[in-house]
Amino acid sequence: MTAGGDREARAGVAAAAGAEGQDRLVEPVKPVEQVKTERTRMEPPVGAESGLFWEATREGTLLVQWCTSCDRGIFYPRFFCPYCAADGPDDSAADQSDQSGQSDGSTLEWRTASGRAIVHAATIEHNPAATGATFSHGEPYVVALVDLDEGVRMMTNIVGCAPEDVRPGMAVTVTWEPLSDGRQLPLFTPTATPA
């Protein structure tokens, strides 16, 4: 209903009340007070296939899932290799897994990544308020695809430099942003060049 239509409806109710001979006053409807909750960075959910990845972030370790059948890195974590369709561990094999996350008979394992990457592509979000992003405190921020040394590509944010300084081919290194449950979100910052 439009604002004008809303006023007309209230006037009609008031006229109807008066037409019946009642001296009731119809009070205008008060607008409902909007309670705004501040949106913060979305904290990624933990699934069965990504549990070890997120647990490792608590210690500042970046893991990459690896297929031993085709010798390729995989990111994001999955239950099977997207390149050769080799299966990962099943629930019965998970009971026999060692601390590295590799199960007996599994073709998928976890390897520690170097934390080094190259920016593949990047974009600057100039209007964070439009996306509900409050983690940047209203300042523009960079969303990027980075290619890790291990051969996988991941989406992330580039921090520690002016957004307009981020370029494809830029060397970056992992850094961490704490999440509310003790996990850490991997972000990337420009790699310091030796003097």
Cα–Cα distances in angstroms (integers) from residue 169 to residues 2, 116, 166, 186, 188, in the given order: 52, 12, 9, 19, 13
The reply to whether 8 falls in a domain is: no
The pLDDT of residue 25 is: 55
pLDDT tens digits, 40-71: 688 899 999 999 999 999 999 999 999 999 99
Number of domains in the chain: 2
Range of the domain at 122: 116-190
> Which pLDDT does position 194 carry in this prediction?
67
83 and 126 share a domain? no
CB contact burial 80-108 (16+ within 10 A = b; e otherwise): ebeeeeeebbeeeeeeebeeebbbeebbb
Residue 77: per-residue pLDDT: 93
Residues 71 and 93 in one domain: yes
- The pLDDT assigned to 84 comes to 93
User: Is the same domain home to 126 and 139?
Assistant: yes
Contact 57, 183 (CB under 8 A): yes
55-59: long-range contacts, CB 8 A cutoff, minimum separation 24: 55/183, 56/110, 56/112, 57/176, 57/183, 57/184, 57/185, 57/186, 58/182, 58/183, 58/184
Residue 135 is predicted with a pLDDT of 86
Q: Are residues 123 and 183 in the same domain?
A: yes
Mean pLDDT, residues 90-112 taken together: 59
Q: 105 with 140, same domain? A: no
Closest CA to 118 of 160, 170, 162, 164: 170
How confident is the model over 102-147, as pLDDT tens digits? 444 579 999 999 999 999 999 999 998 888 788 888 899 999 999 9
Task: Provide the pLDDT for residue 37.
Answer: 40
Confidence of residue 90 (pLDDT cuts 50, 70, 90): very low
Indicate the average pLDDT of the chain.
80
- The CB-side HSE value for 102 (13 A sphere, CA atoms) comes to 14
Q: Which position has the token pair 């405190």?
A: 137
Side chain identity, residue 152: V
Q: Is the pLDDT of residue 11 over 50?
A: no
Q: Is the same domain home to 130 and 176?
A: yes
pLDDT, residue 195, reads: 60
Please tell me whether residues 67 and 79 are part of one structural domain.
Answer: yes
Which of these, 106, 112, 107, 103, lies nearest to 64 by C-alpha position? 112
